[in-house]
Amino acid sequence: MIKNKLSKLYTTALLIAATIGSSYAQTNKVFTVKANQVQAPVQPTMWGIFFEDINLGADGGIYAELVKNRSFEFDTPMMGWKVLKQGENNGSLLVHNRGELNGANSRFIRVSSKTPTGNFGVSNEGFRGMGIKKGDQYDFSIMARQLEGSNMALNIELVNAKGEKIGTTTVTPVGKEWKTYKVSFNATATEPKASLNIVTKGQGVVDLDMISLFPKNTWKNRPNGMRADLVQLLADMKPGFLRFPGGCIVEGRTLEERFQWKKTIGNIEDRGFLINRWNTEFKHRLTTDYYQSFGLGFYEYFQLAEDIGAEPLPILNCGMACQFNTAEVVPLENLDPYVQDALDLIEFANGSVETTWGKKRAEMGHPAPFNLKMMGVGNENWGPQYIERLQIFTKAIKAKYPNIQLVNSSGTDPNGERFDYLNGELRKMNADIIDEHYYRKPEWFLENAKRYDNYDRKGAKVFAGEYAAQSVGIASPDNKNNWRCALSEAAFMTGLERNAEVVTMASYAPLFAHAEGWQWTPDMIWVNNLQSYGTPNYQVQKLYSLNKGTDVVPVLLNNQTVTGQDGLYASAVLDRKANELVLKVVNASDKAHNGDFVIDGVKNVQSKGTFTELRNDNLEAVNSFENPTAVSPVQKSIQVKNKKVNLTLKPYSMNVIRVKIS
Ligand code: AHR
Query: In the structure, what pLDDT confidence band is assigned to residue 26 with cuts at 50, 70 and 90?
Result: confident
- CB-CB neighbours of 340 under 10 Å: 12
Query: In the structure, what pLDDT confidence band is assigned to residue 118 with cuts at 50, 70 and 90?
Result: low
Question: What's the average model confidence in pLDDT over 533-557?
Answer: 98
- Rounded to the nearest angstrom, the distance between the alpha carbon of 632 and the centre of ligand 1 is 27
d(CA 125, CA 68): 7
pLDDT at 595 over 90: yes
- Rounded to the nearest angstrom, the distance between the alpha carbon of 398 and the centre of ligand 1 is 27
Tell me if 509 CB under 6 Å of ligand 1.
yes
Tell me if 380 CB under 6 Å of ligand 1.
yes
Tell me if 140 CB under 6 Å of ligand 1.
no
- Rounded to the nearest angstrom, the distance between the alpha carbon of 388 and the centre of ligand 1 is 23
- Rounded to the nearest angstrom, the distance between the alpha carbon of 25 and the centre of ligand 1 is 43
Look up residue 231 and give its amino acid: V
Tell me if 510 CB under 6 Å of ligand 1.
yes
Nearest-CA residue for atom 4 of ligand 1: 247
As a whole number, the mean pLDDT across the chain is: 95
- 90-104, 334-348, 432-446, range with the lowest pLDDT: 90-104
Query: In the structure, what pLDDT confidence band is assigned to residue 507 with cuts at 50, 70 and 90?
Result: very high
Tell me if 436 CB under 6 Å of ligand 1.
no
Nearest-CA residue for atom 5 of ligand 1: 247
Q: Residue 512 in contact with residue 524, Cβ under 8 Å? A: yes
Note the pTM of the prediction, 2 decimals. Answer: 0.95
Tell me if 257 CB under 6 Å of ligand 1.
no
Query: In the structure, what pLDDT confidence band is assigned to residue 85 with cuts at 50, 70 and 90?
Result: confident
What residues contact residue 99 under an 8 Å CB cut-off, 6+ apart? Answer: 106
Q: Relative to the CA of 248, which ligand 1 atom is closest?
A: 6
Long-range interactions of 116-119: CB distance < 8 A, separation 24+: 116/202, 116/203, 118/155, 118/199, 118/200, 118/201, 118/202, 119/84, 119/85, 119/90, 119/199
Nearest-CA residue for atom 2 of ligand 1: 510
The pLDDT of residue 459 is 94
What residues contact residue 180 under an 8 Å CB cut-off, 6+ apart? Answer: 141, 142, 143, 210
Q: Residue 439 in contact with residue 431, Cβ under 8 Å? A: no
pLDDT digits (tens, 9 = 90+) for 565-589: 999 999 999 999 999 999 999 999 9
pLDDT digits (tens, 9 = 90+) for 352-375: 999 999 999 999 999 999 999 999
Name the residue of 379, 382, 436, 476 whose CB sits within 8 Å of the most ligand 1 atoms, as the mutation to test its pocket: 379
Tell me if 51 CB under 6 Å of ligand 1.
no
- Rounded to the nearest angstrom, the distance between the alpha carbon of 338 and the centre of ligand 1 is 22
Name the residue of 520, 523, 524, 537 whose CB sits within 8 Å of the most ligand 1 atoms, as the mutation to test its pocket: 520
Tell me if 52 CB under 6 Å of ligand 1.
yes
Tell me if 246 CB under 6 Å of ligand 1.
yes
Tell me if 520 CB under 6 Å of ligand 1.
yes
Question: What's the average model confidence in pLDDT over 386-403?
Answer: 98
Query: In the structure, what pLDDT confidence band is assigned to residue 21 with cuts at 50, 70 and 90?
Result: very low
Query: Which H or E element spans position 8?
Result: helix 2-23
Tell me if 438 CB under 6 Å of ligand 1.
no
The pLDDT of residue 27 is 83
pLDDT at 544 over 60: yes
Question: What's the average model confidence in pLDDT over 184-197?
Answer: 98
pLDDT digits (tens, 9 = 90+) for 320-329: 999 999 999 9
Query: Which H or E element spans position 31?
Result: strand 27-34
Query: In the structure, what pLDDT confidence band is assigned to residue 3 with cuts at 50, 70 and 90?
Result: very low
Which residues form the catalytic set? Answer: 380
Q: Under DSSP, is residue 100 helix (H, G, I), strand (E, B) or coil?
A: helix
Q: Residue 489 in contact with residue 469, Cβ under 8 Å? A: yes
Nearest-CA residue for atom 9 of ligand 1: 247
Q: Relative to the CA of 50, which ligand 1 atom is closest?
A: 1
The pLDDT of residue 88 is 67
d(CA 578, CA 609): 12
Output the CA angle 48-520-79, nearest 5 degrees: 110
What are residue 274's DSSP bridge partners? 292
What are residue 291's DSSP bridge partners? 275
pLDDT digits (tens, 9 = 90+) for 420-466: 999 999 999 999 999 999 999 999 999 999 999 999 999 999 999 99
The pLDDT of residue 101 is 72
- Rounded to the nearest angstrom, the distance between the alpha carbon of 41 and the centre of ligand 1 is 29
Tell me if 379 CB under 6 Å of ligand 1.
yes
Nearest-CA residue for atom 3 of ligand 1: 247
Phi/psi of residue 392, each to 5°?
A: -65, -45
What residues contact residue 651 under an 8 Å CB cut-off, 6+ apart? Answer: 587, 589, 590, 591, 592, 615, 617
The pLDDT of residue 4 is 46
Q: Under DSSP, is residue 257 helix (H, G, I), strand (E, B) or coil?
A: coil
Tell me if 245 CB under 6 Å of ligand 1.
no
The pLDDT of residue 492 is 98
* DSSP for 362-431, written as a single string: HHTT--S-----EEEE-SS--SHHHHHHHHHHHHHHHHH-TT-EEEEE--SSSSSHHHHHHHHHHHHTT-
Question: What's the average model confidence in pLDDT over 91-107?
Answer: 88
- Rounded to the nearest angstrom, the distance between the alpha carbon of 55 and the centre of ligand 1 is 11
- Rounded to the nearest angstrom, the distance between the alpha carbon of 248 and the centre of ligand 1 is 5
Look up residue 650 and give its amino acid: K
- Rounded to the nearest angstrom, the distance between the alpha carbon of 276 and the centre of ligand 1 is 13
Q: Residue 397 in contact with residue 404, Cβ under 8 Å? A: yes
pLDDT digits (tens, 9 = 90+) for 270-326: 998 999 999 999 999 999 999 999 999 999 999 999 999 999 999 999 999 999 999
Closest CA to 586 of 536, 549, 624: 536
Closest CA to 69 of 353, 286, 279, 293: 293
Nearest-CA residue for atom 8 of ligand 1: 247
d(CA 233, CA 629): 13
Over pLDDT 70: what percentage of the chain? 96
* DSSP for 442-490, written as a single string: HHHHHHTTTTTTTS-SSS-EEEEEEEEE-SSSTT-TT----HHHHHHHH
What are residue 130's DSSP bridge partners? 194
The pLDDT of residue 1 is 40
Interhelix angle 417-428/384-400, rounded to 10 degrees, is 30
Over pLDDT 90: what percentage of the chain? 92
Question: What's the average model confidence in pLDDT over 97-125?
Answer: 87
d(CA 467, CA 657): 25
Helices H, strands E: what count in the chain? 10, 36
Question: What's the average model confidence in pLDDT over 491-503?
Answer: 98
The pLDDT of residue 104 is 83
pLDDT digits (tens, 9 = 90+) for 33-79: 999 999 999 999 999 999 999 999 999 999 999 999 999 999 999 99
Name the residue of 51, 243, 437, 476 whose CB sits within 8 Å of the most ligand 1 atoms, as the mutation to test its pocket: 437
Q: Residue 508 in contact with residue 467, Cβ under 8 Å? A: yes
Tell me if 248 CB under 6 Å of ligand 1.
yes
Query: In the structure, what pLDDT confidence band is assigned to residue 140 with cuts at 50, 70 and 90?
Result: very high
* DSSP for 621-649, written as a single string: ----SSSTTSS--EEEEEEEETTEEEEEE
Interhelix angle 384-400/336-350, rounded to 10 degrees, is 40
Query: In the structure, what pLDDT confidence band is assigned to residue 345 with cuts at 50, 70 and 90?
Result: very high
Tell me if 466 CB under 6 Å of ligand 1.
yes
Q: Work out whether the CA dihedral 36, 46, 491, 577 comes out positive or negative.
A: positive
pLDDT at 19 over 70: no
Name the residue of 279, 466, 521 whose CB sits within 8 Å of the most ligand 1 atoms, as the mutation to test its pocket: 466
Question: What's the average model confidence in pLDDT over 385-395?
Answer: 98
Q: Relative to the CA of 509, which ligand 1 atom is closest?
A: 1
d(CA 247, CA 257): 14
d(CA 171, CA 233): 36
Nearest-CA residue for atom 1 of ligand 1: 510
- Rounded to the nearest angstrom, the distance between the alpha carbon of 257 and the centre of ligand 1 is 16
- Rounded to the nearest angstrom, the distance between the alpha carbon of 466 and the centre of ligand 1 is 7
